[in-house]
Structure formats: structure tokens, C-alpha cells
Structure 1
Amino acid sequence: MTTPLPSILLAGCGKMGSAMVQGWLAGGLAPSVVLDRHLSDLPAPHRVVRAVADIPAGFVPDVIVLAVKPQKADGVLAELAARYPQATVLSVMAGRTVASLEAAFAAGATATQPTIIRAMPNTPSLLGAGMCGLYAPLTATAEQKQHCDSLMRAVGETVWVERESLIDAVTGVSGSGPAYVFLLAELLEKAGQAQGLPAPVARTLAREVIYGAGRMLHELPTDAEELRRNVTSPGGTTAAALAVLMQPEAWPRITTDAVAAAVNRAGELAG
């Protein structure tokens, strides 16, 4: 029999929270509560509440998952701290450091501090194809880490980093990464139309080439550079395109700068 996922109290159910919830429900989530002002309902035995005061008496989650907007989190955190002073907390908020979250919890006037583990998932979690980086302080127990890992593995793959600062790098590469791929699909579609392809054909070509290439990267052990070389015949059409894309000021520079911008913004969001 499959072991159920840990019970959770999910604070915030926006796009990322919703993506994770769908995967968790499919994975056999233990009875849980979602704290959100907009979500309409969840299948029993799970519940939706609008405020911390509405959480059922006696409900103690295995993990509190923080998915609220980083800039609006402190009030909710203080309320949760008063009710669950020794909680295991999994934060998926970009930029908010362990130290800043501990300070917000301390505002709840509790004598003890929760254990805070940080995670940076991405939106393909909606399809069970997410990628999540996690960081845990030395105070986290093996059981606490396992609870958090099992939740994120239910919606994709996980990697753990040894330094908290590397979560910002995870944010820049994989947390924001799907948007980079979607932009590539958008641009390929427009480029195909510029070459005379009907819009539906250009759309199909752009999406399917990204899907197929993604599957090769996922399922084959071959390095990405070698896969690129295998497609590129000397003097051929792909080589002509790559000669443009691989100019020093083109993709090599732009990609590095884009990821760095996301990493820097994550640092700015830290409280």
C-alpha cells in the first residue's frame, strides 16, 4: 500500500500553490487544510479556510507550506507562529531567507522557533514534471527533510543544495526557467510565421520541437552539448542558425545575464 503524503497546512494557493496541490491530491495527501481567500473548495477530507482562526481545532499538520507572496507574508507568519510554534515549515517563497522567516515567526511572541526549510519549485509541478531545489539548516531532522522531499517529489524531481544562497541560483535557473522556454516557443512561432508558415503550423512546430528536445534531454544520458553537436552538420542549416545564436553577444551572454538578473532579484526580495 502506498504511504500517504504528509498532512499539510498550505498558506496561499495562487498559481504555484494550485500546481502543487493538484499533484499532492493525486499522490494521496493525508487530510490537510488550505488557507486561502480565493480557493473555492477541495475534495473531502481536505478543507479550505479563509483565516488562521478558521483552522479546525486540533488540526496539527506535519508540514506548513508557505506559498504566499513574499512581500505580504509577515502577518500570516506571526499568526501561524502563535498556533504552531514548533512547526516544520516549507517555504516556497522566492528570496525570503530562513533568518527573515524566523524573525517574522518571532513576531508571534512564541518561546520556540519552527524549523524552516526552503524550496524553489516551478510550474510544471502542475503536470508532475516539476523541478525543485531545497535547502535545510543543520537544525532540521532527517524526518523533517524527508517530509518536505516527499511532498516535492510528488510533483516532480528534487535536488538539495548545501548553502542557502544557492537557492537564489536555483530560482534563476529552474524556478524562472519555464518562462525562458515559453519565450523560446513564442519567438520560434513568430519566426516561423515571418518565413511564411501559417500560424497554426508555426505553433505546432515550435511546441513539438521543444517537447521532443526536452524528452531527449530527460531520457538520454547524453550531455546537452553533444546532443547539439549531433544535430549540427558542418556547413548545414543548423550550423548557419547556431552561428547567429552563439555569437558572444547573443545567447551565451544573454542567457547568463538573464539568469543573473533573476538571481539578483531573488536577493532583493530577501527580507
Structure 2
Amino acid sequence: MIIVKTREEIELMREAALVVSKTLGEVAKAVKPGVTSLELDKIAETCIRDQGAIPGFLGLYDFPNTLCMSPNSQVVHGIPNNTPLEEGDIISVDCGAILNGFYGDHAYTFSVGEIAPETQKLLDVTKESLYVGIRELKVGNRVGDVGYAIQKYCEDHGYGVVRELVGHGIGRKMHEDPEMPNYGKRGRGKKFVEGMVVAIEPMINLGTKSIKQHRDGWTITTLDGKPSAHFEHDVAIVDGKPELLSTFAYIYEALGIKSDEEKEFRQKALVL
């Protein structure tokens, strides 16, 4: 069942999402060769708690940490550890937090120093596909419209679109209806209505779309060992159109990146 949110609830969800956005900004400052994902995990937990929120992933389905940290060929759900990051790595950082009784949940794939051009292109295209999908999140469209847009954009670049892992509705629970696949057919699936809030999160592989799960019960990697990228935003339907609740602006501020990619999805200017 889709749980539609009121305007007041959407604003509370925006606050929860911004806790995650600010936390990813702090993580961005620390991503470099030699740092471990466990060290980044501790930074994130402290940042979330300092904002008066609760880590959303810690203990969820018995997950042991605050962040899902997935380097290189890991797609999602990697468990933080003491292995140092190396120059040329990439790492998906997926973060959740609970504030006001609502979840925030979004992700960004960072480069560690200089990365291979083909890997940089994968990151660029995957992030671009996130916004391609978000544009389809509007009243009257359907789940399949978002999935189709993401799938076509990524497959046109020759990439594999993961099938087994999907985005989702979000609210007082981390995972609500509807599921939001990154593939699909136009005009299929549940229809979007005013007040829906979803997490859209393309998970795109440089090679095959096929994946495998490891014995730890969490870590997912590409079947061919090639890199995977993952970007995620929380988005509400407000006045019939997509409205971003999360932002990459804190990451960009930390990394010195200038971007206006989110401008079209905000009815009000974001104040950092």
C-alpha cells in the first residue's frame, strides 16, 4: 500500500533527508587514499547523532554499521572494514538516518584520488541517469516510466542495469511501496499521485548486469568483477512535480564542485 504524505510530513522528511546530506558532506571531506571504510563509518555515526538523529541502517535487518560502504565491484550493502582505500578506487556510500519519526536515505559514489577514465564515465552516466529518472516522477506517470528512462539512458551507454536491487517508497519505514526498479516499460506499474515520496537509486555496472551475493549475507558484487556505481535521492511529488528532499550540495561544497543539476527539482532555493 502506498502511503501518501501531507505537506507537513514532506517537510519533516526533508529535514531527515538533509541530515543524511550533511553527513555525506562530512564523509566527502575524509575520503582519500589510506582511510578505511570503518573510519568513515564512525564519522557518519557521530555526524548523525550530533544532529539529533539516529543512524537509520544500524541494526536495520541486523545490519551492523551506520553506512553501507561498497568499493569498486561491490554494488551495494558492503560492510565497513579496516581495509584502506587506495588511489584509483571508487566507493559507494549509502547512508540512512531517522529524524522526526521519518527516514532519510541517499547515496553517492566517490572517487578516491584519480580514477580510470572509463570508471569516471560510469559515475557520470549513472548520476545523470538518476536525474533522467527523477524527471519522470510526476502525477499521472507510472513506475515503469522512471525505470524505462533510467534503463534506456544507461544501456545506450553500454552499461548493465541491475535487476535484483531496486529503489523504494520511503517514510516512517525505510522501505515502503512502491518498489522503484531501474528498468521497466513505459505506462506500466503503479501510478504516481500527489504526496508520494520515493528513493530513486540507479545501480549501474560497467559490464554485465548480473550480480552475486557473498556469504556475509550483505555484500553484493558484479558477477564479472567490473566496477559498479550507485547514486540515490529522496524525492517527493509536490504540485504534481518531483521535489528533491535530499541534496548533493554538501558533498559538492566539500569537494569544490560547482553544479546546478538540482535546480530544476527545487521550488525553493536550497540554503546551506
- TM bin (shorter chain): under 0.3
Normalized per residue, the structure richer in helix is 1
Q: TM-score, normalised by structure 2?
A: 0.23
TM-score (norm 1): 0.23
Q: Which has the larger radius of gyration?
A: 1
Return the structure number with greater relative CO, CA threshold 8 A, min gap 6: 2
